Structure 1
């Protein structure tokens, strides 16, 4: 039991310490102590004095019996009324000396009685009864009540809070759901309703729509939110999934009635004779090489009879700008390239012969 600042004793340390219980005084002495203190002293019993308390006090010396009809006899005894003590019953009995009030209560001495002022949480004449604050069942929603001194504590089940467990916890207050998901509050837990394109407990995982390899013909898949995009660049295909072969000839890139030939990722132009270039856009200048001799004048021409009909040409081919040239020879010269001397030729039916 504690001894400072006040000493206690008893099984539960509920009594103020009484030093005289363990100490005996010599003959004609009595133990004097103050409750709660460790110190004590042995004083002479009433009627005795002296260093060894061996001198009998003559109580008649003060002549208490002043009436001549009474004789004073050494020593006397006063029978006190309840609540008083002492040789002359002048001392009020301290009913609090025995520390009757329990559990830290304050004792107030009265005449022949005492009163206990209980600390919160206790009741009874001696404050011996612990008030059960849980008796009124203050804890709500299946909370467990713990009776404490002067108060109670509620141990709440998951999902509830507050002094009496009367407030439901909103698990969505912390915004646990990510990426625009809807949080659904339940008792003790929450669930997330994910926006399209996301998954996971907190909708924290972006669904990769490219996992299924939706892009065909080596198209590059780019994952988007709840979608994907196929990059068909360089594949020769188009469409949402690069599933359509690009018809390069659809734009009619070949000029001058050339035939467009489809290929993979490209095309080619089959030019008519007399044209060249990637798109058959260049007219071949047959006179550029100056094929006519002897100052003959070169004329580009288009003459079916001269050029001839080719079986691989389409039936709708026009010879208006086809290949060929004519040489207009200077006088005295003849021949396809004006390379023959006309003096050796004979004009027969409009044509020159050797």
Structure 2
């Protein structure tokens, strides 16, 4: 366009300098019209050029602002400090992007809110700040036989109805009155009690056999036993222990003990298997955390995983895969080293391996979600989740998608413990059906022997 304008100007100048060629040159009016068109053309190009300069300046300013924000983000690329958890604790000290923190409550409190929170790229935490709420120990109605439960901090107490005693009002308080006629009114209560003790054979005395307490009122003898004992047969002076474990083994209120009931003189006690302690209600069993209480023999290069009734010492070694090498980036994660440009086999190998360990009770109800795998920053247009492993893994597990970015490992059948189950969940990223990356999550589940 500039070339055509230059040609027109050259032609006009030639005609003005050589009027002899007037027959071939345009008239004066035509020349003025052409000059006006050329002027308009140059003005339009000048305006377009100035507009291009203004757009270029705007882009430069945007790049400068973006660079400034990136610099500021690099200087302070951490999420704000989280508030401390009252009656609980926070696991995880890093506040950097993509790092995760977990929350646990002290015994006697339950977690309300997010169990874990992730530092997002916006420098904000996912989820909501949790809190630890006092557990209402009376919610499970632990007091038996009409007893009234009183909730206390991390414990409870029972106010028993008449005729019942014990921590949960589980023991009857029998009172037996035996009327004896033809008894001299002159016999004193002390004399009757002494006579009762003297008539007991040596083989019948001991912690499970006690003499009764007798009193004489208007010529009639009344005998009673201590709580937990009852008059034995026709001998009104002998009290024998009540075996509560046998008497209340399958009562309407359930078993006295969830594990083992041990009869004691005048009562009973509950015992738990190794690795458990009796709870405050005296009848349930609570797992001992050998990892938290340092009751384990795991070495420094192993990590202690608490299980129900015991513990496991685990050590993660990065996998050995041909054409690819892995390095441990955290105690439970291995990532692939960069691949050479021409090494296609390396680029097809998994990008990372993550290891997780779960402790569950025996006969856990199914179906149940056991673990979730999610993409924090997906790169492609499609995420695919699948279950790896052999027949044993597919017998107990399946993988389902819960939303566009999350897959979940489902337990499909109860497992009788003790047992150890393993499952591998693969998450693949694809762009137009072309694989961009693979990520393997290995889950090991330790199933306890007991279901409490």
**Larger helix proportion of the pair:** 2
TM-score when normalising by structure 1: 0.29
Compare CA radii of gyration and give the structure with the larger one. 1
**Larger strand proportion of the pair:** 2
